[in-house]
Amino acid sequence: MRSIWNGAISFGLVSIPIKLVNATESHSISFRQIHVSDGGRVRYRKVCELDGEEVPSAEIGKGYEEADGSIVPITDEDLAQLPLATAKTIEIMSFVPAEEIDPLQMDAAYYLAANGATAAKPYTLLREALKRSRKVAIAKYALRGRERLGMLRVVDDVIAMHGLLWPDEIRAPEGVAPEVAVSVRDAELDLADALMATLGEVEMASLHDDYREAVEALIVAKSGGAFEPTEAVVEPAGGQVIDLMAALEKSVRAAKASRGEAGAAGGAEAEAEVTPIRRKAGAGARTGTGAGAGAGAGAGAPKAVGGKKSTAASAKKTAASAATKKKVTTTGKSAAGKSTSGAAAAKSTAKSAAKKAGAAAKKAATPRKRTSA
């Protein structure tokens, strides 16, 4: 990496020679201005307003314009003679917790590289001290003609410096917050929390500039002559939110669907659309033979097929028990000394009772037809 500034870090009585390297780079696409009618380049020329002639860069200096329009020339020699201790030094002033730095003050970022072998030991010392203290260093330095404020912190095994705006360069947020008094319900906050939890975290390395990629594809297509203009699909801009709760619920479902949780989102939506089935009047008082009960059973629960069989078995068991009791009674009467004809009559009566019980059991075993609703 090419250094943009050479100097030293002043850490008490310790001086650490360093080189300043840009930590960021711009990937934005630059366009040239052209003449629409013929495609010619439009160029700017630096012309002196007194003689009207173009001035080369070597002959261009600095000057401060006063209120009356007069110019006060300022040379590089004038600036070099200023009693500025930070002209070639990053002077550490204090160490503070990183939480005390307002992100609004963050400006450009740089890497500080040790300049030479002798700088390695003090550089490493400062780096490890910053790591162990879990603090950042606040420093002053001069760059591009002005003194600046900086914050030094450790990134991996490198000391990085963020340029900071001076406190008086941060504007107060006056007139920015809503002027209308608004109350937020707990239910709305809960849905907002649910949406935040659903969106979750993101790998910063996976984020990229979709617009830049689209512009690059457009340039390649037009340069190759294969460009076919298509109408862009623009989603309608959101207007006034009528139902904030509904918008939050829809956002949660959409976030779940985008993360492959369509089943969970669909389940929640289906649960919200369930309509309970109401039974007809009088259907609750009927037994399983009624039309209303049949419809309710068909709609809500699987058919019960074991009830009829158990009723038939119970009837058969009752008939067999009755026949056994008759036989016992007949045997008792015969042992008491009754006549043979009386025993035969009792026997005949028992057979008749058993036959009637069997008929009743057969009738109970016959399934009844269901009446459709």
The string of pLDDT tens digits covering residues 48-75 is: 999 999 999 999 999 999 999 999 999 9
| Residue 140 one-letter amino acid | K
The whole-angstrom separation of Cα 90 and Cα 138 is: 10
pLDDT at residue 308 is higher than 70:
no
Q: Answer with the residue of higher pLDDT: 154 or 84.
A: 154
Q: Report pLDDT digits (tens) over 112-163.
A: 999 999 999 999 999 999 999 999 999 999 888 788 999 999 999 999 999 9
Q: Between residues 181 and 327, which one has the greater pLDDT? A: 181
Say if residues 10 and 91 touch (Cβ distance below 8 Å).
yes
pLDDT tens-place string over residues 31-41: 999 999 999 99
Place 277 in a pLDDT band, splitting at 50, 70 and 90.
Answer: very low
Q: How far apart are CA 306 and CA 315, in angstroms?
A: 15
Label residue 249 by pLDDT band (50, 70, 90): confident
State the angle between helix axes of 262-272 and 244-258 in degrees (0 to 180), rounded to the nearest 10.
150
Burial (CB < 10 A; 0-12, 13-18, 19+), residue 264, is: middle
- Asked if 24 contacts 155 with a C-beta cutoff of 8 angstroms, the reply is no
SS3 of the chain: the string is: CCEEEEEEEEECCEEEEEEEEECCCCCCCCCCCECCCCCCECCCCCECCCCCCECCHHHCCEEEECCCCCEEEECHHHHHCCCCCCCCEEEEEEEEEHHHCCHHHEEEEEEEEECCHHHHHHHHHHHHHHHHHCEEEEEEEEECCEEEEEEEEEECCEEEEEEECCHHHCCCCCCCCCCCCCCCCHHHHHHHHHHHHHHCCCCHHHCCCHHHHHHHHHHHHHHCCCCCCCCCCCCCCCCCCCCHHHHHHHHHHHHHHHCCCHHHHHHHHHHHCCCCCCCCCCHHHCCCCCHHHHHHHHHHCCCCCCHHHHHHHHHHHHHHHHHHHHHHHHHHHHHCCCCHHHHHHHHHHHHHHHHHHHHHHHHHHCCCCCCCC
Q: What is the reported pTM? A: 0.58
Q: Which of 10-24, 143-157, 258-272, 275-289 has the lowest mean pLDDT?
A: 275-289
Q: Which residue has the higher pLDDT, 202 or 33?
A: 33
Contact 279, 355 (CB under 8 A): no
Beta bridge partners of 149: 140, 164
Q: Which residues contact 178 (CB under 8 A, 6 or more apart)?
A: none
What mean pLDDT, rounded, does the chain reach?
75
Spatial separation of the C-alpha atoms in residues 319 and 364, rounded to whole Å: 12
Q: Report the C-alpha gap between 127 and 113 in whole angstroms.
A: 11
* Two tokens, residue 243: 């139902």
Find the mean pLDDT for residues 356-367. 53
Question: Is the confidence at residue 225, as pLDDT, over 80?
Answer: no
300 CB-near residues (< 8 Å, 6+ apart): 277
Q: Is 345 exposed, middle or buried (0-12, 13-18, 19+ CB in 10 A)?
A: middle
- Note the pLDDT of residue 56: 93
Q: 365 or 182: which carries more pLDDT confidence?
A: 182
pLDDT at 297: 39
Return the percentage of the chain with pLDDT > 70, whole number: 65
The half-sphere exposure of 131 on its side-chain side, counting CA atoms within 13 A, is: 12
Retrieve residue 133's tokens.
Answer: 């203290």
Highest-confidence segment of 174-188, 232-246, 351-365: 174-188
Radius of gyration of the chain (CA): 47
pLDDT for residue 46 is more than 70? yes
Query: How many residues in the chain?
Result: 373
Dihedral (CA of 113, 117, 123, 127) sign: positive
pLDDT of residue 279: 47
Residue 89 above 70 pLDDT? yes
Residues whose CB falls within 8 Å of the CB of residue 7, separated by 6 or more in sequence, listed in order: 17, 18, 20, 88, 89, 90, 141
Q: Among residues 269, 266, 245, 265, which one has the least CA distance to residue 256?
A: 265
